[in-house]
Amino acid sequence: MASAPQIEVPDPTALVREDKVHRSVYTDPAIFALEMERIHGRAWLYLAHESEFKAAGDYVVRHLGTQAVILTRDKQGAIHGIFNRCSHRGATLCAFDRGSAPHGHQCPYHGWTFNADGSVRFVSHPRNYDGVLDPADQAIQSVRIESYRGFLFGNLAADAAPPLLDFMGHMKTSIDDLVDRSPTGKVECGPYVLRHYYRANWKMTFENLNDTIHPGFAHAASVVSARNVASALPASEQPVATLGMMLANGKPIQFFQDIDMVTAPGGHSYIGGHMGASYTPDAQNGYVQAMTAFHGAERTREILSIDRHLMLLYPSSFWHARYQTVRILRPVRHDLTEMIGFVFRLVGAPDETYANAVEYCTGANSAASPVIADDLEIYERCLLGNGFGDQQWIPMSRGLKETREVTNAFTRSPATSEAFIRNQFAAWSSYMAQA
């Protein structure tokens, strides 16, 4: 009896140990394909903010893993996600990444037209289909969407996915941290997005952004240059924020050893801030006054004293509450990744607050940022290097014996630890173990 040929999928969980990971997770296209199915096909992935849809018909095209989805606001105000695929012969419906389609999405090929929720508005030349095909059966497959405080997440697993709040767990507090900083309770997505890409695996960014040992080495040149410029400034002049960001990478390692890294189930993490408590993002203090009027003095103090650096929401987004910057990671291939940066306006805050956020996003996500340029180069070098020689395993054991506190919701370690990478691979394994 002939049986269908089987594609061999090795047990992916064998690629991860407590303290090391097999290099093929970065270099093997077959592993990437399986990740897209089992990780990005199951996790909640940040897609868009509700303020990006002002009017009925407004849409954006975003990705869930490698899948393009159209998000559109309908006439009742609800936001729907559907695949960017005509249900006739498969042409993509939207060519642009944002726009307005108040009369539905019309396919460029034969003109079939779809409502925001994917249902068919009309098919062309319908008499040909009389008694043959019912347009009501041709709706475009939709994607499950849930919102948390205006941030919209999508999930390809539909009903099999847990509620969004269960997925976020403790990390929802970092989204609260962002929204609570608004003196009106509202945040609004800025009109421009900043994109970069690199030729290496998507996980490189996740394993880099909470790595506090690399800046002193990978970014040493920016530190030297920023110090050179800062030391030549007249006493009356302060380093600008972007220079400050370059200088911050020169902090001694002991500084990071002393602050906390927080890891949580699901692969998520953040580290304690480096900016000090009671950061106020404008010189005139108008921001604090507006905050106090809205939240009261005590709550305002509480909100502004939270000092967290970047929160990594595994496996697809990065949240910086203090600088109102959110980045989406889009995996394209095992060796190609795009990063998309968004800045949010704290509605009611002074313009200076938004300007600070804009400056942060430019420094943190531009391919031309002296800091990011070094990171991108390193990611690509790791992909290259991992193709050489026989060393199969990559250690991720830094700080393995330095756990500070374990609770049900999170674990604390020194910020110099690779605990966040081990935590990501624990999540990776549990996603990848389920067929």
Nearer to ligand FES, 11 or 137 (CB): 137
Beta strands in 355-416 (DSSP E): 393-395, 405-406, 411-414
Both tokens of 228, joined, read 């050179």
- Residue 339 CA to its chain's centroid (Å): 8
Nearer to other proteins, 264 or 343 (CB): 343
Between CA 346 and CA 399 the distance in angstroms is 37
**The binder of ligand FES chosen from 30, 33, 68, 91 (CB under 6 A):** 91
Place of tokens 């502004």: 304
Q: Least separation, in Å, of the C-beta of 171 and other proteins?
A: 24
The residues near 224 (Cβ < 8 Å, ≥ 6 apart) are none
Residues 103-122 that bind ligand FES (CB under 6 A): 107, 109-112
Beta strands in 56-141 (DSSP E): 58-64, 67-73, 79-83, 98-100, 105-106, 113-114, 120-122
Between CA 178 and CA 186 the distance in angstroms is 10
Between CA 31 and CA 397 the distance in angstroms is 23
Residue 333 partner contact from Fe ion, ligand FES, other proteins, none using kind-dependent CB cut-offs of 5 to 8 Å = none
Q: Is the dihedral of CA 381, 384, 389, 391 positive or negative?
A: positive
Q: Which window, 141-149, 180-188, 238-246, 389-397, contacts other proteins (CB under 8 A)?
A: 238-246
Nearer to other proteins, 283 or 368 (CB): 368
- Of 376, 335, 342, nearest in space to 62 by CA: 342
Q: Is 281 in the site for other proteins (CB under 8 A)?
A: no
Q: Is 368 in the site for other proteins (CB under 8 A)?
A: yes
Residues 371-400 that bind other proteins (CB under 8 A): 372-378, 381
**The binder of Fe ion chosen from 50, 177, 207, 375 (CB under 5 A):** 375
Nearer to other proteins, 112 or 354 (CB): 354
Between CA 130 and CA 122 the distance in angstroms is 13
Q: Is 25 in the site for other proteins (CB under 8 A)?
A: no
Rg (CA), the chain: 23
Q: Would you give the DSSP letter of residue 250?
A: T
- 370: number of CA atoms within 13 Å, CB side? 16
Q: Least separation, in Å, of the C-beta of 371 and Fe ion?
A: 6
Q: Is 194 in the site for other proteins (CB under 8 A)?
A: yes
Residue 341 partner contact from other proteins, Fe ion, ligand FES, none using kind-dependent CB cut-offs of 5 to 8 Å = other proteins
Residues 326-345 that bind other proteins (CB under 8 A): 338-341, 343
Between CA 234 and CA 369 the distance in angstroms is 25
Q: Is 355 in the site for other proteins (CB under 8 A)?
A: yes
**The binder of other proteins chosen from 55, 95, 133, 229 (CB under 8 A):** 229
Query: Could you give the 3-state DSSP secondary structure of residue 283?
Result: coil
Nearer to ligand FES, 95 or 229 (CB): 95
Residues 265-304 that bind ligand FES (CB under 6 A): none
**The binder of ligand FES chosen from 16, 71, 79, 86 (CB under 6 A):** 86
Q: Least separation, in Å, of the C-beta of 389 and other proteins?
A: 17
Residue 86 partner contact from Fe ion, other proteins, ligand FES, none using kind-dependent CB cut-offs of 5 to 8 Å = ligand FES
Residue 80 partner contact from Fe ion, ligand FES, other proteins, none using kind-dependent CB cut-offs of 5 to 8 Å = none
Distances (CA, A) of 58 to 67, 75, 79, 117: 20, 10, 10, 13
Residue 188 partner contact from Fe ion, ligand FES, other proteins, none using kind-dependent CB cut-offs of 5 to 8 Å = none
Size of the site for Fe ion (CB under 5 A): 1
